[in-house]
Structure 1
Amino acid sequence: VAAEFTRKFAELFVKNDINNNIIFNINVPPLSKSEIKGWRYTIQGKSKYLDTFEKRVDPRGNTYFWLTGERITVEHGEDCDDFWVSKGYVSVTPIKYDLTDYDIFNKLKGTEVEI
């Protein structure tokens, strides 16, 4: 379900000529294709995890850690990804990956002093 949706969404993305300074976080509920109700553009929900990790070993003998902690939803408004996934929809959240605070950067630019 996730692979099929992502392929179709990628085709839509290419047609719309979206800015390259963006990524999409796609969340697919654990349902069969017939149970998926549709998809929505969403905002990033605010969730926290009680960081509990379980030590596991893969079939090749490599150790890895699986996040098993409890998820705590802080914000669950109607525009949030968590809300729509819980209702049986795929959520697509556009996310900028440039985390620069340009207001502060512009305020501080040129004030550097030698240390």
Structure 2
Amino acid sequence: MKKPLILVTNDDGISAPGIRALIAVMSELGEVVVVAPDKPQSAMGHAITINSTLYLNKVSAENAAITEYNCSGTPVDCVKLAVNEILHRKPDLCVSGINHGSNSSINVIYSGTMSAAVEAGIEGIPAIGFSLLDYDWNADFEQIKSFIRKITIEVIKNGLPEGVVLNVNLPKLPENEIKGIKICRQAKALWMEKFDKRKTPQGKDYYWLTGEFVNQDKGEDTDEWALEHGYVSVVPVHFDMTAHHMIQQLNTWNLNEKN
């Protein structure tokens, strides 16, 4: 059988240990092409570059069988360039990550890792975003490789519905302490944000965004619950943001009546 073509990207940059671990796993499963940012692009969400030039450079890969490019743009730019300028056919799968830190719950909105996966979904490509709940640059990714391999194989084998991508978060635990994989919904949580206001030596104000993550959801079917209890969380995500339940109610409003 022909090996699946797998596009690998991330938001922490092409040299991040997380993406190097992901490349190692994917190289066991298919033909790998890497297109990733040339520098960290965390929390870029679904941003794209339209007011400046984009650069794409082929780089030397550790494995001669893998083709790698770095890109001056965002994670979404990387996917767009890969699909339109690099790949000779639509990839069978796009994987993004492994992110250094959580992308569970509301974090999916801000995540460059997940936005790259969502962009692949928009392009009709099955996609998975992987994140490890460890912000350390030297995090131990070996402990989670078997779970990443297992989830990826199932997606290759079964496919995903059109427009659906998977948001996979993995707890910071030794492999033998991870209890298993749970299919979840996104927890209702938010960031209680505040700004640390400071002054430059010249007296000009500047700000650092800070905040506290607050989980308001007590459900035991959420990603936050799964991660807190030692499970890998898998949340199916889609990019149709229509609030379908609101359509009928809006149709009762007098929006077309003249004042």
Verify same fold: TM over 0.5.
yes
Higher relative contact order (CA 8 A, sep 6+): 1
Residue 50 of structure 1 pairs with residue 192 of structure 2 = yes
Supply the RMSD in Å over aligned alpha carbons. 2.8
What is the total number of aligned residue pairs between the two structures?
Answer: 97
Q: Is the 8 A contact 2:169 2:233 kept in 1?
A: yes
Counterpart secondary structure, 1:93:
strand
TM-score, scaled relative to structure 1: 0.68
Equivalent residue, structure 1, for 2:238? 96
Q: Is the 8 A contact 1:76 1:82 kept in 2?
A: no
Matched to 2:167, the amino acid is N
Per the alignment, residue 20 of structure 1 pairs with: 162
Give me the whole-angstrom Cα distance separating, in 1, the residues matched to 2:210 and 2:149: 29
Q: Is contact 1:41-1:91 (8 Å) kept?
A: yes
Superposed, 1:24-43 pairs within 5 Å as 24-43=166-185
Equivalent in the alignment of 2:71: none
How many angstroms does 1:67 deviate by? 6.8
Unaligned runs of 5+ in 2: 1-142, 197-207, 252-259
Q: TM-score, normalised by structure 2?
A: 0.33
Shift of residue 91 of structure 1?
0.5
**Alignment-derived partner of residue 82 in structure 1:** 224
Which is worse superposed, 5-14 or 76-85? 5-14
For residues 86 and 33 of structure 1, the distance between their equivalents in structure 2, rounded to whole angstroms, comes to 15
Say if 2:144 and 2:175, in contact at 8 Å, map to a contact too.
Answer: no
What residue number does 1:73 align with?
A: 215
In percent, how many aligned pairs have the same letter?
A: 36
Q: CA deviation at 1:2?
A: 4.0
